[in-house]
Structure 1
Amino acid sequence: MTFVNEKKNVVRKQHPYLHGNFAPIHRTQPLTPCIYTGVIPKELAGGEYVRNGGNPVTNEELGRDAHWFDGDGMLSGVAFRRAEDGSAHPYFVNQYILTDTYLSSISTPSLRLPILPSIATLVNPASTLLTIILRIFRTIFLVVLSNLPGSAKAIKKISVANTSVLYHDGRALATCESGPPMRISLPGLETVGWYDGIRAEGEPITDTKSGEVFGGSGLIGFMKEWTTAHPRIDPITNELILFHSTFITPFVHYSIIPSTHHNNSPNKLPRLVNATVPGVKSAKMMHDFGVSLSHTIIMDLPLSLDPMNLARNEPVVSYDPSGISRFGVFPRWKPEHIRWFETNACCIFHTANSWDETTTNTSTQIEETISVNMLACRLTSASLVFSAGDVAAPIPKDNAMTAPIEEEQCRLYYYRFPLTDSENSISHQFALSSIPFEFPSIRESLSMTKAQYVYGCSVSDGTFGAALGRAVKIDSLVKVDVLALIARGKETNQTPITGCVDIRTVTEILASNDANDPIKIFKLPQGFYAQESRFVPRENGKTEDDGWLLSYVFDEAQLDEHNVAGPQAKSELWVIDARDMKTVVCKIHLPQRVPYGLHGAWFSEKEIENQRPIETIRHLPLKKKNVSHESIWMHSWMSMRMWLLEKIG
């Protein structure tokens, strides 16, 4: 057990995302055995559940600008070791991801604020131009300083790798869109190194692999390598599909990485790296995208992430409710053939699934795609971006609106993009349910196909765009039969954009006794809150939903009267029967709490066993020793350096 920068904080005004179970925890644990109640499904044996999230190591100034999406990446996992009799024994582990910024931060104790400016500063309409410029120049100064003599770690990449995790081609990867993926090692969650599309730092160097890396070469390559936090894995071809969004024209690039680990084919598999996606005219906050078996969907929404906004007297991150949402659909390997579909302004941070609708050409007998379908969590505003930073969202100007303002909501939406029509027009766009719905997931083996069920998170009181001073807390896990609701929506000819198939509330759905209800909700006990869930299928299951949902759960009765979680507060990992959405088959009692975070993944026993070889891993910097023979110039420089850090910290 280790403690990193465990210091007593002076409590000021409570930031909703820095207190309670949102507060960071700096205690890290190696693989530690856990007690449990119930029965652990045999399918979990040998696998590991891992969840990523921001956990700021520099957390002295609790009154600072802060955002839920800020913070150094921390992985929290439960590994289920397989015993000789085939049973599973749970072990908890959590580790910081040793990014460049994290290693630089912990070796600079004089820092009072994180190295990177908070997203809250960038989105706040009240932030002055001078404030934003000073925060950005502070970051640039610290990055440059880290590359000069006397630094424990040079900052080459600014990503905090705090958003999601995935597995591709023998590598577990942690992601965040401000940099390339970072490889981690399972099950201990050690940090290996940055992945460039060919190999990860820390892997053995071979002469057989060559090609273009993410971002390419050149001075701006470090920015062009910024990668979506939500790459997609084709469950059939095992290709990794991802995009790179930057501030620089042409703004979006696109890559496809084949699976080569344990591939004995003599033929070289095709790669597509840094291909331009045409048609995006400005820098945007692009978090996710849609991928079917044959097509890709890029979302160009009116949510900008552009330093040039400062010249227009706007925040770096700005939402235009009078703008349009554009969906660019193109064949997987041909981004130059993109077709743009337009609709009303909205925000989408997560897509749930995408699939092709095909037909067989009677003359050629070749299967052709006639439309691409997508399910996504559609927000009617950017309120979540602001509330997650405890910032009041700007009020839209009435004279700037070209369409009626929709009520605040975040719903699971269905989109259909026809490809056979001469005009680019969305044929269907409506909500499947009126309940708040976010953090979607599906059975991974059915990704990019017409899956029946989508799982997600909901709140019984409020929306995901929480009110100012409040934080989003998930008290309901949801399973939606999307195919049933899509069919019903088409039959009832739902109104485009504003239509909604099922208008029941969470309470009304919970009261339903219909065994075939297309929406089922697992409501947590009062005061308990969950996190994003992940589906693990039952071996030889008979239905798509035959399996379990895994989610970290925290009982807020453990918080004191000041909304502080003490050192004895603990979380649990719940294993829920996905068929009935009622039965908790097992609870893993963890040795400490897991702060509310972002996205996770289930890694199978086979994936863990088939990881690529690792030569080195990243380590915490060694404590500096006093050097008696240090030159007078070096001594003077170090004194100046310490003075600068004290002033700018």
Structure 2
Amino acid sequence: MSLHGRKGKRRDKHPYLSGNFAPVQKAYSATPCSYTGVIPDELLGGQYIRNGGNPVSNEDLGRDAHWFDGDGMLAGVVFTRPGADGGTVQPNFINQYILTDVYLSSLENPCLRTPILPSISTLVNPVSTLIEITLRIFRTILLVLLSHLPGSAYAIKRISVSNTGIIYHDGRALATCESGPPMRIQLPELDTVGWYNGNNAEGEAEIKHKESGFGGTGVMSFMKEWTTGHPKIDPESQEMLLFHSNFLPPYVHYSVIPPSHQHSSEKPILSKILNFPIPSVSGAKMMHDFGVSKGYTIIMDLPLSLDPFNLIKNKPVVSYDPSKPSRFGVFPRRDPSRIRWFETSACCIFHTANAWDAEDSQGNVDAVNLLACRLTSDSLVLSAGNVKAPPRIVQNIKDKRDPILFFSRYDYDKTASGDGMTYQGTLDPSYLDLEKLPSAENFPVLDVPQVNNQNILVPEAEEDQCRLYYYCFSLSSPATTITAQYALSAVPFEFPTINPACEMSSAHYVYGCSTSTASFGVALGRAVKIDALVKMNVHKLMQRSQGNPPKSIIGCVDQRNVDEIMMSSDPNDPIKCFKMPEGWYAQEARFVQRSNATCSHPSGPSAGDSEDDGFLLFYAFDESQLDKDGNCPETAISELWILEAKNFTDVLARVQLPQRVPYGLHGNWFSEGMIKNQRAVRNFRKAPEEKCQNQGVWSWIKRNMVKVLD
């Protein structure tokens, strides 16, 4: 069926509204797909699904836009088993919008040329004026209020677009996003059931809990139900852990949802925790992800704020302050009141790969470890909205007598640049040789700070980094001490995944996305694209660091780039890269294990030998299909690739889809058992077949007010 998108002439080609970032205009029910290669038996009956933004109100293609914007759309491939009479497995493609309040209200207002919600691009742009942002927010508030007028078919009660991730917990598939609670989805058809509040979901056949859920009660309860896009599921206890970040103190709340059926007589019954406040968070933050080990939870209080009160301070709503520390709060899983805060230099982290506990000889947890994709600035947030970054200013250059409490010495990453070098990082005056700095003839001066009352020239900063970092937080020392913090590899690394059975334990292998031509902080007018997947044996890299520990914060175990790793012939190389064919680009991959794969103990000669025995599933797109203007024709298609995870070379199968899948965010694998064991549903949300116009005075008033606001 057609999905209500009208073509408009682009005034200024936006990189995240063009090419394969542009939204698709058609939804498919189960549609058979052809494929080449052999589909592994482990995939039979299961479904791969990826979430991402696909704006339905998209006529104004010259508007502000951001990769994180857009109405949530799920794109999935279900692998139907052969019938009783034999035959072969049949992949079927399904894609559907998530029927959120915002999406349904957009369908009711066909004159809308831009989305109901303001773009993240507007909120992060340093040149957005207070008046402009206030007007955009005021427009959203009015549209929400208008949706509650008599004659409106769909009232906006929650502003989430549910466009970030999708997980499975306790018989429910849940689509996630920071701006609201999870939305339950029915597999494999991808029909929308309703909002999930921590107790039950709207539309479920049986509601056992009528008490309040996420957010509790009260005027501001709607903000406290805003839930992370990355809830964690314990593979053993089946608990789901979430946090809820908002604009008012205490800023972050925390929930733990055990499975409804706990059969073990050997273990105590797990209780539910809803909306427990986390103390001492420094402010309203753009807090996207967190870490969870078997015994501990790690909250990241980073210097990237998401706060409408920033406008009063003449700052963007989303603002990065490199002069502030990064804070990691570590606490026992079920007791946030015992949180301990660890501080280090400023950074941004959007995704964690894994967390695990380290025990002493008596079996007590004496440290918590974290693997995370660490960025050196907020450049990814800006570039994902095609926003020009403000001039770079060297952070915290202070007089030697002024102590720097949380910054370590920053080494210089060096690259050839004319007659000199480019430098990046926080400069500590005690290591600064004023006589050897480059002259102004070689570098543009961005700022002229002072060190010991002397003016110095600040060369242009190196391109931002996004690397897989290892952190170790000591719990045994009286002082809060980070005993390790360094990069495992120099290759850009984002969208991590591991074998789900090994999450929250000491997993050996981490898989992620990379780019061989640039970092994930890209220049204005270009969009980040993934042309390589990376597999790291993190245990080997950490062991290598023991003999020659990298310098804190700025150290790196393996300095090779993607091309250098590709040239390696060492079968035991701890890093492997899978390079996409020329012109092809990938999306986030998800690991699916073979039936005999296990998570091994980290020691021993065969440690981790079967942990990587499985497959990586991801969507791929050939950009040779684009026309001369860089746009996708209606005939453009994507493929689902199945990559052998162990040798990281063989593409076992390629499924040709009936249409393309835009570059999006996070996906997941749902087994046949998960699909069969879903909770019963009483009714589903429904969208109108056509955009309708209700009649009556109130409808007339509403239509005309919407036209004025647009």
Q: TM-score, normalised by structure 1?
A: 0.96
Question: In 1, Cα distance between the equivalents of 2:263 and 2:635?
Answer: 48
Distance 1:33 1:622, change over 3 A: closer
Question: In 1, Cα distance between the equivalents of 2:529 and 2:354?
Answer: 24
**1:254 correspondence with 2:254:** yes
Residue 4 of structure 1 deviates from its aligned partner by 1.5
* 1:241-280 matches, cutoff 5 A: 241-261=241-261, 269-280=270-281
Question: In 1, Cα distance between the equivalents of 2:368 and 2:262?
Answer: 32
Deviations 1:89-112 (A, max 9, x none): 200000000000000001101111
1:99 maps to which residue?
A: 100
Question: In 1, Cα distance between the equivalents of 2:691 and 2:153?
Answer: 9
**8 Å CA contact retained: 1:3, 1:28:** yes
Residue 268 of structure 1 deviates from its aligned partner by 6.0
Q: Which amino acid aligns with 1:48?
A: Q
Deviations 1:63-102 (A, max 9, x none): 1000000000000000001123595320000000000000
Question: In terms of mean alpha carbon deviation, does 165-174 or 6-15 score higher?
Answer: 6-15
* 1:180-579 matches, cutoff 5 A: 180-206=181-207, 208-261=208-261, 269-361=270-362, 367-398=363-394, 400-401=396-397, 405-406=424-425, 407=462, 408-541=464-597, 543-579=610-646
**8 Å CA contact retained: 1:164, 1:174:** yes
Question: In 2, Cα distance between the equivalents of 1:548 and 1:397?
Answer: 44
Distance 1:454 1:267, change over 3 A: closer
* 1:616-635 matches, cutoff 5 A: 616-621=683-688, 634-635=696-697
1:5 maps to which residue?
A: 4
Deviations 1:20-45 (A, max 9, x none): 00000020000101000000001000
Q: Which amino acid aligns with 1:522?
A: F
Question: In 2, Cα distance between the equivalents of 1:251 and 1:302?
Answer: 14
SS at match of 1:426: strand
Deviations 1:366-417 (A, max 9, x none): x310100000000000000000000011224347556654341000000000
**1:155 correspondence with 2:151:** no
Question: In 1, Cα distance between the equivalents of 2:268 and 2:360?
Answer: 31
Residue 281 of structure 1 deviates from its aligned partner by 2.1
SS at match of 2:588: coil
Q: TM-score, normalised by structure 2?
A: 0.87
Deviations 1:554-583 (A, max 9, x none): 000000001110110000000011111111
Question: In 1, Cα distance between the equivalents of 2:708 and 2:5?
Answer: 22
SS at match of 2:244: strand
1:17 maps to which residue?
A: 16
Q: Which amino acid aligns with 1:464?
A: F
Distance 1:431 1:56, change over 3 A: same
Deviations 1:164-206 (A, max 9, x none): 0000000000000000000001001000000000000010233
**8 Å CA contact retained: 1:321, 1:401:** no
Residue 210 of structure 1 deviates from its aligned partner by 5.0
Residue 330 of structure 1 deviates from its aligned partner by 0.3
1:364 maps to which residue?
A: none
Equivalent pairs: percent with the same residue? 58
Question: In 1, Cα distance between the equivalents of 2:708 and 2:378?
Answer: 35
Question: In 1, Cα distance between the equivalents of 2:571 and 2:358?
Answer: 29
Residue 289 of structure 1 deviates from its aligned partner by 0.2
**1:590 correspondence with 2:661:** no
**8 Å CA contact retained: 2:536, 2:575:** yes
Question: In 2, Cα distance between the equivalents of 1:646 and 1:4?
Answer: 21
2:445 maps to which residue?
A: none
Deviations 1:429-467 (A, max 9, x none): 000000000000000000000000000000000011111
**8 Å CA contact retained: 1:42, 1:87:** no
Residue 264 of structure 1 deviates from its aligned partner by 9.1
Q: Which amino acid aligns with 1:646?
A: K
Question: In terms of mean alpha carbon deviation, does 541-550 or 107-116 score higher?
Answer: 541-550
Q: Which amino acid aligns with 2:104?
A: L
* Displacement over 4 Å in runs of 4+: 261-268, 399-405, 622-627
Unmatched segments (≥5 aa) in structure 1? 362-366
Instruction: Name which of 670, 680, 695 aligns with 1:613.
Output: 680
Q: Which amino acid aligns with 1:258?
A: P
Distance 1:455 1:36, change over 3 A: same
Residue 269 of structure 1 deviates from its aligned partner by 3.8
Question: In 2, Cα distance between the equivalents of 1:18 and 1:479?
Answer: 30
Question: In 1, Cα distance between the equivalents of 2:111 and 2:596?
Answer: 56
Deviations 1:329-383 (A, max 9, x none): 000000000000000000000000000001343xxxxx31010000000000000
Distance 1:39 1:315, change over 3 A: same
Q: Which amino acid aligns with 2:331?
A: F
Question: In 2, Cα distance between the equivalents of 1:133 and 1:526?
Answer: 45
Residue 491 of structure 1 deviates from its aligned partner by 2.1
SS at match of 2:675: helix
SS at match of 2:103: helix
Question: In 2, Cα distance between the equivalents of 1:426 and 1:415?
Answer: 7
Question: In 2, Cα distance between the equivalents of 1:272 and 1:250?
Answer: 17
Question: In 1, Cα distance between the equivalents of 2:170 and 2:693?
Answer: 44
SS at match of 2:137: helix
Distance 1:625 1:277, change over 3 A: closer
Unmatched segments (≥5 aa) in structure 2? 399-406, 411-423, 426-461, 598-608
SS at match of 2:478: coil
Question: In 2, Cα distance between the equivalents of 1:625 and 1:218?
Answer: 35
2:80 maps to which residue?
A: 81
Question: In terms of mean alpha carbon deviation, does 413-422 or 87-96 score higher?
Answer: 87-96
**8 Å CA contact retained: 1:182, 1:193:** yes
Distance 1:626 1:464, change over 3 A: closer
Question: In 1, Cα distance between the equivalents of 2:135 and 2:691?
Answer: 30
SS at match of 2:563: helix
